[in-house]
Structure 1
Amino acid sequence: MKRPRATSPPSFSTTVKPPLTPPVTPILKQKLHRTGTPKWFPLKLTHTELTLPLTFPTGQTFRWKQTGAIQYSGTIGPHLVSLRQRPGDDTVSYCVHCSTSPKSAELALLDFLNAEISLAELWSDFSKKDPRFGELAKHLRGARVLRQDPLECLIQFLCSSNNNIGRITKMVDFVSSLGVHLADIDGFEFYQFPSLDQLSKVSEEEFRKAGFGYRAKYITGTVNALQAKPGGGDEWLLSLRKLDLQEAVSALCTLPGVGPKVAACIALFSLDQHSAIPVDTHVWQIATNYLLPDLAGAKLTPKLHSRVAEAFVSKYGEYAGWAQTLLFIAELPAQKTLLQSFSLPINKLDNSAEDNETSCDTTKP
């Protein structure tokens, strides 16, 4: 669990720790280089293209940790990196703590951040289609959709089912600890996400003892299902990026514990399915307030999920999932307070569970 953040600069330890039990397999023919004192470099993304607090703590991933005032650290494959923003600095900076090579780490980071997609162009397009979006976007610039490793994203959202942020984070931290330890930053331990082979060595009972409850059978069942895929589970998951959205969602729903809502999250955050709309109660309220007012007061049913998704795509186009992500972020407590200070018209949702929200709303208090 995250300890209280120190006021001093983040500390960095390169101590290599022994593997936790259950045992893990060694990293495959990778020579990791630890850089010691980190050197910071500018990333080719300005704050209008990437705002860290609007991207990392918004429920897309549970593996990145806040290690500074506006600094987040995490792993991308074998690379351990940090991103930071400073007041008055228009650019985002990054440093590489541990990697197979600094250049490959930079390329992996840009890929992870979907850097080839211009938020400025998307926001301009969305604002023309929706003046309210334009007003929100003026104050919430830089909210990006990440491009995560599909296996990593899948396992995280299996942990998120009917759960709260604190427990999800503990579960994801446990799963992460099954991988290769890379280094510590500011008291946080960082690991390369475990492979399918490493995950397969943990039994359902061991996951249950770690506090996963009924989700334990979903994780072990999904790992077994992926290992049985021709060509391997990793390749099968990556192949879903080449399918249309409905085919990808249907394929994901064949895995234990994956329903349409979780499948849409995985599709949006890891499979290049930019029009995927994870339909939850909060997205439903946004839709009935602004896109489908004729359904206001109705109860969200599985039959209406597709209608909500279609309404978002009809309004915002093939990148509707990015628009929905910003509208969701606008409803988070911290952002609501900010927007209210600008007297912007925002949807007043029930705040009873907002402290436990994820961008898929798979949680409950």
Structure 2
Amino acid sequence: MKRPRATSPPSISTPTKPPLSPPATPILKQKLHRTGAPKWFPLKLSHTELTLPLTFPTGQTFRWKQTGPIQYSGSIGPHLVSLRQRSGDDTVSYCVHCSTSPKSVELALLDFLNAEISLAELWSDFSKKDPRFGELAKHLRGARVLRQDPLECLMQFLCSSNNNIARITKMVDFVSSLGLHLGDVDGFEFHQFPSLDRLSKVSEEELRKAGFGYRAKYITGTVNALQSKPGGGNEWLLSLRKLDLHEVVAALCTLPGVGPKVAACIALFSLDQHSAIPVDTHVWQIATSYLLPDLVGTKLTTKLHGRVAEAFVIKYGEYAGWAQTLLFIAELPAQKALLQSFSQPINKLDKSAKRKKNDTTL
């Protein structure tokens, strides 16, 4: 599985009538409150703590859509919300389009955005350990790691295996369309993510017809495996937040279609495993360029995954996954273009790193 790279949220048209039955009745029993004309409220996160283009179109989630110049919309549980940033405004604002409980939306948003974790403190700590990180962080502030619902995150990354952004988004939109329709924003349809019970009613054949290919068996197999867990699959997934990283990865790898790389993505983006490092070819290039120069020119193997992850943790500590996320984002084409105007000090650091091939620190 290659961790997807994107410059902006893909514009993908979803099937208007998926060849699947309507959502299960229990979902439809929810009482939704539609708010009419959007009213915007300030969120307690400044732009240095949350920059929307550095958080949403970066491969963490495929369910949020760009619905304005610097505006992204998506669902968090039964809440359909939009987030936006305006030039000259230091804060991020949000509006609620639809919800079962509008008063609880802000708390749900802050939880989803991992708001308890201070980026300013993390970036300061990482910058002391790594001068290159400090230079990048000056221009790429506000790149957060999300705290998604584990089932939602798991299903998205099952779709991502050996796939591209456009196709992943189509698949995720298809799965999402099985949930309760919450509303439309800027021409995009939004749904509450379907429950395990709803997903269990979808056959492998239906998913294959929808273009999922071999991933169809992973989704149906994982849904069946989760349903067999004592106490239920959702409870089992949430319980992983209390375990150590190696236990989480081992548990996730018992599910069909989940290998170490997919497990690390799920662990980092939904299970509070802040030191998880999803190792793919892009992260491998970052690691060999700046952390493991003695491995330049060698091929990434399964045996080397652990060494790469360990190198990030040694360098950045218990929140290494957050540091790796910013370094990954810095390699995206759009961000590389942005950094061109600041390239001199960064290039000097890059050349210095290459000269010190026998030194694993910068």
Deviation of the 1:25 alpha carbon = 3.1
CA distance 1:89–1:15, change in 2 (3 Å): farther
Q: Is the 8 A contact 1:16 1:182 kept in 2?
A: no
Deviation of the 1:24 alpha carbon = 3.0
CA distance 1:17–1:212, change in 2 (3 Å): closer
Deviation of the 1:3 alpha carbon = 24
CA-to-aligned-CA distance 1:113-139 (integer Å, 9 cap, x gap): 000000000000000000100000000
Deviation of the 1:26 alpha carbon = 3.5
Deviation of the 1:18 alpha carbon = 12
CA distance 1:216–1:342, change in 2 (3 Å): same
Q: Is the 8 A contact 1:14 1:183 kept in 2?
A: no
CA-to-aligned-CA distance 1:190-225 (integer Å, 9 cap, x gap): 000000000011100000000000000000000000
d(CA) in 1 for partners of 2:331, 2:11 = 34
d(CA) in 2 for partners of 1:16, 1:218 = 25
Q: Is the 8 A contact 1:15 1:183 kept in 2?
A: no
CA distance 1:254–1:351, change in 2 (3 Å): farther
Indicate the SS of the match to 2:75.
strand
Q: Is the 8 A contact 2:12 2:169 kept in 1?
A: no
d(CA) in 2 for partners of 1:306, 1:7 = 28
Deviation of the 1:318 alpha carbon = 0.2
CA distance 1:345–1:294, change in 2 (3 Å): farther
d(CA) in 2 for partners of 1:172, 1:28 = 21
Q: Is the 8 A contact 2:153 2:269 kept in 1?
A: yes
CA distance 1:131–1:230, change in 2 (3 Å): same
CA distance 1:140–1:3, change in 2 (3 Å): closer
Deviation of the 1:346 alpha carbon = 5.9
CA distance 1:344–1:240, change in 2 (3 Å): farther
| Structure 1 match to 2:356 | none
CA distance 1:61–1:10, change in 2 (3 Å): closer
Please tell me the root mean square deviation across aligned C-alpha atoms, in Å.
5.4
| Structure 2 match to 1:162 | 162
d(CA) in 2 for partners of 1:261, 1:3 = 9
Q: Is the 8 A contact 1:161 1:362 kept in 2?
A: no
Q: Is the 8 A contact 2:275 2:317 kept in 1?
A: yes
Q: Is the 8 A contact 1:11 1:186 kept in 2?
A: no
Deviation of the 1:73 alpha carbon = 0.2
d(CA) in 2 for partners of 1:270, 1:10 = 22
Deviation of the 1:100 alpha carbon = 1.3
CA-to-aligned-CA distance 1:61-103 (integer Å, 9 cap, x gap): 0000000000000000000000000011100000011111222
Indicate the SS of the match to 2:344.
coil
CA distance 1:329–1:30, change in 2 (3 Å): same
Deviation of the 1:232 alpha carbon = 0.1
Structure 1 residue 313 and structure 2 residue 313: aligned? yes
Q: Number of residue pairs matched? A: 356
Deviation of the 1:30 alpha carbon = 2.6
| Structure 2 match to 1:7 | 7
Deviation of the 1:343 alpha carbon = 1.5
d(CA) in 2 for partners of 1:47, 1:315 = 26
Deviation of the 1:9 alpha carbon = 18
Structure 1 residue 29 and structure 2 residue 29: aligned? yes
Q: Determine what percentage of the aligned residue pairs are the same residue.
A: 91
CA distance 1:6–1:68, change in 2 (3 Å): farther
Q: Is the 8 A contact 1:45 1:115 kept in 2?
A: yes
d(CA) in 2 for partners of 1:4, 1:301 = 19
d(CA) in 1 for partners of 2:72, 2:201 = 30
Q: Is the 8 A contact 1:41 1:93 kept in 2?
A: yes
CA distance 1:152–1:146, change in 2 (3 Å): same
d(CA) in 2 for partners of 1:186, 1:130 = 41
Deviation of the 1:340 alpha carbon = 1.4
d(CA) in 2 for partners of 1:8, 1:125 = 29
d(CA) in 2 for partners of 1:3, 1:302 = 16
Query: If each structure's helix is expressed as a fraction of its own residues, which one has the higher value?
Result: 2
Indicate the SS of the match to 2:48.
coil
CA distance 1:2–1:301, change in 2 (3 Å): closer
Deviation of the 1:148 alpha carbon = 0.1
Indicate the SS of the match to 2:346.
coil
CA distance 1:3–1:337, change in 2 (3 Å): closer
Q: Is the 8 A contact 1:176 1:192 kept in 2?
A: yes
Q: Is the 8 A contact 1:17 1:181 kept in 2?
A: no
Deviation of the 1:238 alpha carbon = 0.2
Q: Is the 8 A contact 1:38 1:95 kept in 2?
A: yes
d(CA) in 2 for partners of 1:112, 1:131 = 30
CA distance 1:35–1:323, change in 2 (3 Å): same
Q: Is the 8 A contact 2:208 2:216 kept in 1?
A: yes
d(CA) in 2 for partners of 1:132, 1:7 = 22
Q: Which moved more, 1:95-104 or 1:138-147?
A: 95-104
Deviation of the 1:345 alpha carbon = 6.1
Q: Is the 8 A contact 1:336 1:346 kept in 2?
A: no
Deviation of the 1:349 alpha carbon = 16
Q: Is the 8 A contact 2:6 2:332 kept in 1?
A: no
CA-to-aligned-CA distance 1:129-152 (integer Å, 9 cap, x gap): 001000000000000000000000
Q: Which moved more, 1:12-21 or 1:138-147?
A: 12-21
CA distance 1:43–1:88, change in 2 (3 Å): same
CA distance 1:44–1:21, change in 2 (3 Å): same
Structure 2 segments unaligned to the other structure (5+ residues) = 354-358
Q: Is the 8 A contact 1:20 1:177 kept in 2?
A: no
Structure 1 segments unaligned to the other structure (5+ residues) = 354-360
